[in-house]
């Protein structure tokens, strides 16, 4: 084993994933799973790999499309935006962006807001809100949130 070889399977963050899944979905290897005290994975390497995003989107869209029709993809600010856009394009549906509170340039009466979303990371701990244009979602719509 050379110094540039990744972790051994027993200590790898991917050791719980069967080898046949990893070989069928190599984009899983592009995600930086080293924990740097942030409590989450670092995804910029995933987005930088030209085959990761389209292959991931194909897999996820095929999974959901086989189960039920989807009316829109909702992307959460900010890493959900590129995934939502790519998925919406693939499925031929709209892409709705859920922005952090205070970022939409609209009057309050045109905004649907959420309260009480707890941030998952320690350095940003607290309760945050998301906002969506009211006219973009309707009762009964089937959406995937990413």
Fold of 19-145: Rossmann fold (3.40.50)
With H, G, I as helix, E, B as strand and everything else as coil, classify residue 97.
strand
pLDDT above 80 for 145: yes
Q: Nearest-CA neighbor of 31 among 1, 53, 16? A: 53
For residue 46, name the pLDDT band (cuts at 50, 70, 90).
confident
Please tell me the distance from the alpha carbon of residue 33 to that of residue 108, in angstroms, as a whole number.
39
pLDDT, greater one: 21 or 38: 21
How does pLDDT run across 54-104, given as a tens digit for each residue? 999 999 999 988 888 999 999 998 889 999 999 999 999 999 999 988 889
Q: What is the pTM of this model?
A: 0.75
Average pLDDT, the chain: 81
């Amino acid at each position: 084993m050379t110094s540039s070889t990744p972790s051994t399977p027993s200590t790898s963050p991917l050791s719980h994933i069967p080898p046949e899944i990893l070989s069928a979905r190599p984009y899983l290897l592009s995600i930086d799973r080293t924990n740097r005290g942030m409590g989450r994975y670092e995804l910029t390497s995933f987005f930088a790999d030209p085959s990761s995003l389209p292959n991931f989107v194909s897999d996820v869209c095929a999974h959901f499309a086989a189960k039920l029709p989807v009316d829109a993809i909702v992307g959460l600010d900010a890493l959900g935006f590129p995934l939502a856009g790519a998925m919406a394009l693939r499925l031929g549906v709209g892409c709705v962006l859920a922005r952090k509170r205070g970022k939409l340039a609209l009057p309050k009466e045109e905004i649907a807001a959420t309260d009480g979303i707890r941030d998952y990371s320690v350095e940003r701990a607290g309760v945050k809100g998301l906002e969506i244009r009211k006219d973009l979602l309707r009762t009964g719509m089937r959406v995937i949130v990413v």
